[in-house]
Structure 1
Amino acid sequence: MYGDLQNLDPAIDRYSAAVFLYGKDRFDEALALIEPLLHAQSVDAQVFNLAAACHLSIGHLHDAGTYWRRAIDTRPDYCDAYNNLGVVLKERGCLAQAEACYRQALSITPGHAGAHVNLGRLFAQLGRPGEAESSYLRALELQPRDGDTYVNLGVLYQDQMRLPEAEAAYRNALAADPHEVKAHFNLGVVLKMQRRFAEAEASYRQALALRPDYFEVAINLAHLLLTVGRLEEGWALFEARYDPAWPQRKIAPPPVDFPMWRGEPLAGRSLLVWPEQGHGDSLQFCRYLPMLKAQGLAKLSIACSPVLQSLFETIDGVDECIPLDGDHGIPKHDYVCLTMSLPYRLGTTLASIPGATPYLRVPPSRAARWKGRLPAGNFKVGLVWAGDPRPDQPANSAVDRLRSLDARAYLPLLCVPGITFVSLQKGASTQPQIDTLPVELRPFDPMLDVHDFADTAAIIEQLDLVITVDTSIAHLAGALNRPVWILSRYDGCWRWLHDRDDTPWYPRTRLFHQRQPGEWGEVIERVKLALEAWTVRQRAPA
């Protein structure tokens, strides 16, 4: 990235020594060494370039930008300085100025491969994939064996669900450098998305062989093992998500001062179950709480989001439900365990998944509150078309884009006669989508009066069927033992396995998988046909 830092006059001992220190990642020492040169009467542009590179490497974006501007002032045709200044501006969020710098660099040196790559990255960030692709391909014309550029191109194709092209790009990266860990990892992701699980596993394991502490690879491998039903291996590796042995772990251990439960005897002891990730995970794995109590616990507590408290208080064996609202302290327990560690600690295999439902019940007060509030007559079908975008969590937001639809995608279903549709959709951006539907086809929408999951559960109890994308409502309906149809993306969630349209987690659930990545129209058509057949069966004499 830093161009000709190495092309320095060897007669300048201080300068050469600073370059050597820079190459050894000793940036502060390099800066100290060239400090007198920066204040000389006449300063070579390469000195400013080196100072800027050191400042960028230690996170001083403002100083880096200042020195690259001084390099440009000293040498207005300094292509590398323009390119590197663009990197700083992009990091600072000044995207238009960054683009102008990259273009200026290319106007000076049209064959500058690094500037083409940086421009491609910028276009990708701006949502201009066509221009990003052109920039990457031009860079590869200039440097045909650049593995990093192939990885960037693969990521671009992957984001567009152009999976065969992404696979080819990653394989080209590995042909250029067989030790490119990111290419092995990304190739594994793309292979898994194409349901080529054995090949994906091999790619993940190769990445881990090259970099044993690569957390994201370990978690993706865990998900793959769970997807193919190798639950014992998958649960064990999934523990990496909070294990301090993995320095890049994304989940902090529970903020309590008592030990994690690792399978010790529980008779006469106390245990706190701690939530993690989304509401759906809590709803799915709270089924293990009665199993814990059956091991002789003197006290079983569960901490949860306040919107789950009323519902979780109905679980058999729970002695205390602690809402994480900031107003309740966490009492001392002998042990704490993360919700999604329960299958591992309790030895869950594919054959021993605890699938008995219901394990959640509607609180009587909520049932009374919602009794008779839904429209009378017909079969009642609940609808959910989108999940929670969570823009503050980029990885989760990316998954949400793959699983979510616009309300208008359900129009073919809403046209099926003889059904009263009820919206179960929550969300500031998704619930109002009802208003985009023709008035005569809009589902009944009670959700403005819904305050927590107990309210939603009381509505679901009055429905004959729930149709939903892969969200927490799928788990809620399943936990209540209500019939639920789940629309699952092509690269479906690990918990639904990969080769079946039912699930051992919820006996009254049916899965409708995408047959092509990103293609929901065909899925909706199958759901429509199934819904029409369902109404006929519902009307048939017993």
Structure 2
Amino acid sequence: MYGDLQNPESAVDAYSFAVSLYGKARFDAALALLEPLLFARTTDVQVFNLAAACCLSMDRPHDAETHWRRAIALKPDYCDAHSNLGVVLKEQGRLDEAEACYRNALSISSNHAGAYVNLGRLYAQLGRPDDAEAAYLRALELQPGDGDFLVNLGVLYQAQMRMPEAEAAYRSATEANPHDVKAHFNLGVVLKMQHRFAEAEASYRRTLALQPDYFEVKINLAHLLLNVGRLKEGWALFETRYDPRWPARKIAPPPVDFPMWRGEPLAGKSLLVWPEQGHGDSLQFCRYLPILKARGLAKLSIVCSPALQRLFETIEGVDQCIAPDDDHIVPQHDYVCLTMSLPHRLGTTTFASIPGTTPYLQVPPAYAAKWKGRLPEGEPRVGLVWAGDPRPDQPEINAVDRRRSLDARAYLPLLGAPGVTFISLQMGALTQPQISTLPPELRPFDPMHDVRDFADTAAIIDQLDLVITVDTSIAHLAGALNTPTWILSRYDGCWRWLHDRDDTPWYPRTRLFRQTQPGEWGEVIERVRTALEGWSAHERTPA
């Protein structure tokens, strides 16, 4: 089984071979060599330590914990074992026990840099950034210029939006280890977040030169290219998101047995469009469906969430809307295509080639009748959304949501605008009730308790003069309905809104109000308030 190895003649040889195998990420082979040694009458604690590390790398945390505890029982002052045991306990969510282990390690050796780094990671997870920073800085005092420690410090600063400090940490990490792909990648991320797109692109490409199969970098580079308007390159690279060679890919291929459409002629064929990511993406890219039908499709079907089904049934050329929870099996088609592959497959290479005709969604007549006369009288009527969907089970998305969302009270300067009737469009178990924190006389009318799907929301928006929203699916819904829309965009705004303009080729009646400093919404709200006060009747006239 291990023919590339010599037969170890002693426990020392076996341990040395196991160390070599561990370094090559052959954890199962390393553990196989160690297992006979684990039950010897005299076992070196380093054998337990390495066996535990192998188990942890093989996702066997309970075995790892057992081996580290045996090492500590054999040598109570074994500092590394205490620190490493803390790592496995932290991964199991046993945070208090993990902290105790790190403290034990430091009580044995106050100069154990690794224990300080582990403690810093724990504090970062616990939302104690000052304590985390102190721990990382102490580790760097003990091991100056350690690239891994610097990356951890950079991640902490990045999470706090301390971009210049994060950049400095990552640059130091790349100097310490020019081949550290994580440092180069993270440097590209913070450069992009500072709107230094050319430098960010260079960092991403340097990362890919070091590790060509680093798919997460490819996705980030695709977003950057789209952000700066290089649509042809961006859409092509964005196809990486469902590459089967990427084990951690976030977009799985559609669970059907017919082939992906890659641009083949469609005349007389049938095509199924499969959703991905959030509702906003589906709302933005469903504009391509009539173009597909115009290519001669005999049948065009779309899978969508039940919340979108009634609305998408109004799209020109769609023959069938299928909700994922339908009891019947998805019927056979000639091809399937992911929603966000449509711009690439249909040749959206320039801003002029974006299908920009609006409205491309219509309120179903039954929903229009349902909501007729249910909103308060008064003009103008302005819809408000102040927060997105937090998704706490998805840390990356949740982090973005925290940067894009506000508390309802942030809109108080707007709510005092004279002569405006405000309508809440806010959904969410945590965010919709924030209306009750507003002074009663300034609270917007809230019809959202009676909203069941996006067709309901569309019927409300269709009666409004303007929608003011953070970057959520409502921005796309309002834009698709051709309702004037003002989007409050975070500093590191989404790639689809580009980076150097306050309008968008995706929605002709949409305007962007961007943060000029990370996390600073007050100045944005003030600009929106000023614009609202000067909003003329002419601007409220449909285009």
- When normalised by structure 2's length, the TM-score is 0.95
Q: Report the counterpart of residue 108 of structure 1 in structure 2.
A: 108
Offset from partner CA, 1:18-39 (integer Å, 9 cap, x none): 4444444444444444444433
Q: How many residues align?
A: 531
Please tell me the residue identity of whatever aligns with 2:401: D
Question: Residues 533 and 363 from structure 1, CA distance in 2 versus in 1: closer, same or farther, beyond 3 angstroms?
Answer: same
Q: Report the counterpart of residue 530 of structure 2 in structure 1.
A: 529
Q: Report the counterpart of residue 185 of structure 2 in structure 1.
A: 185
Q: Report the counterpart of residue 510 of structure 1 in structure 2.
A: 511
Question: Residues 29 and 299 from structure 1, CA distance in 2 versus in 1: closer, same or farther, beyond 3 angstroms?
Answer: closer
For residues 103 and 405 of structure 2, what CA distance do their matches in structure 1 show?
Answer: 37
Verify the 8 A CA contact 1:457 1:477 in the aligned structure 2: yes
Please tell me the residue identity of whatever aligns with 1:311: L
Offset from partner CA, 1:323-368 (integer Å, 9 cap, x none): 1224232111111111111111111122211111000000111000
For residues 540 and 353 of structure 2, what CA distance do their matches in structure 1 show?
Answer: 36
For residues 303 and 458 of structure 1, what CA distance do their matches in structure 2 show?
Answer: 22
Q: Percent identity?
A: 79
Does residue 132 (structure 1) correspond to residue 132 (structure 2)? The answer is yes
Offset from partner CA, 1:193-241 (integer Å, 9 cap, x none): 1111100100001111111111110000000000100000000000011
For residues 121 and 352 of structure 1, what CA distance do their matches in structure 2 show?
Answer: 47
Segments of 5+ residues of structure 1 without an aligned counterpart are 1-9
The 3-state SS of whatever aligns with 2:132 is: helix
RMSD between aligned residues: 1.7
Does residue 471 (structure 1) correspond to residue 472 (structure 2)? The answer is yes
Please tell me the residue identity of whatever aligns with 2:292: L
Please tell me the residue identity of whatever aligns with 1:214: Y
Q: Report the counterpart of residue 7 of structure 1 in structure 2.
A: none
Q: Counterparts of 1:58-457 in structure 2 under 5 Å?
A: 58-348=58-348, 349-457=350-458
Q: Report the counterpart of residue 4 of structure 1 in structure 2.
A: none
The 3-state SS of whatever aligns with 1:382 is: strand
Question: Residues 328 and 443 from structure 1, CA distance in 2 versus in 1: closer, same or farther, beyond 3 angstroms?
Answer: farther
Please tell me the residue identity of whatever aligns with 2:209: A
Verify the 8 A CA contact 2:465 2:540 in the aligned structure 1: no
Question: Residues 17 and 509 from structure 1, CA distance in 2 versus in 1: closer, same or farther, beyond 3 angstroms?
Answer: closer
How far off is 1:516 after superposition? 0.4
Question: Residues 48 and 522 from structure 1, CA distance in 2 versus in 1: closer, same or farther, beyond 3 angstroms?
Answer: same
Deviates more, 1:493-502 or 1:16-25: 16-25
For residues 300 and 447 of structure 2, what CA distance do their matches in structure 1 show?
Answer: 34
Question: Residues 495 and 36 from structure 1, CA distance in 2 versus in 1: closer, same or farther, beyond 3 angstroms?
Answer: closer
For residues 23 and 292 of structure 2, what CA distance do their matches in structure 1 show?
Answer: 56
The 3-state SS of whatever aligns with 1:534 is: coil
Q: Report the counterpart of residue 48 of structure 1 in structure 2.
A: 48
How far off is 1:246 after superposition? 3.9
How far off is 1:61 after superposition? 1.3
Question: Residues 17 and 241 from structure 1, CA distance in 2 versus in 1: closer, same or farther, beyond 3 angstroms?
Answer: closer
The 3-state SS of whatever aligns with 1:158 is: helix
The 3-state SS of whatever aligns with 1:395 is: helix
The 3-state SS of whatever aligns with 2:475 is: helix
How far off is 1:538 after superposition? 6.9
Deviates more, 1:359-368 or 1:317-326: 317-326
Verify the 8 A CA contact 1:271 1:301 in the aligned structure 2: yes
Offset from partner CA, 1:434-459 (integer Å, 9 cap, x none): 11111111100000100011100000
How far off is 1:17 after superposition? 4.4
The 3-state SS of whatever aligns with 2:273 is: strand
For residues 229 and 303 of structure 1, what CA distance do their matches in structure 2 show?
Answer: 29
- When normalised by structure 1's length, the TM-score is 0.95
Q: Report the counterpart of residue 489 of structure 1 in structure 2.
A: 490
The 3-state SS of whatever aligns with 2:375 is: coil
For residues 259 and 224 of structure 1, what CA distance do their matches in structure 2 show?
Answer: 29
Question: Residues 441 and 115 from structure 1, CA distance in 2 versus in 1: closer, same or farther, beyond 3 angstroms?
Answer: same
For residues 33 and 481 of structure 2, what CA distance do their matches in structure 1 show?
Answer: 69
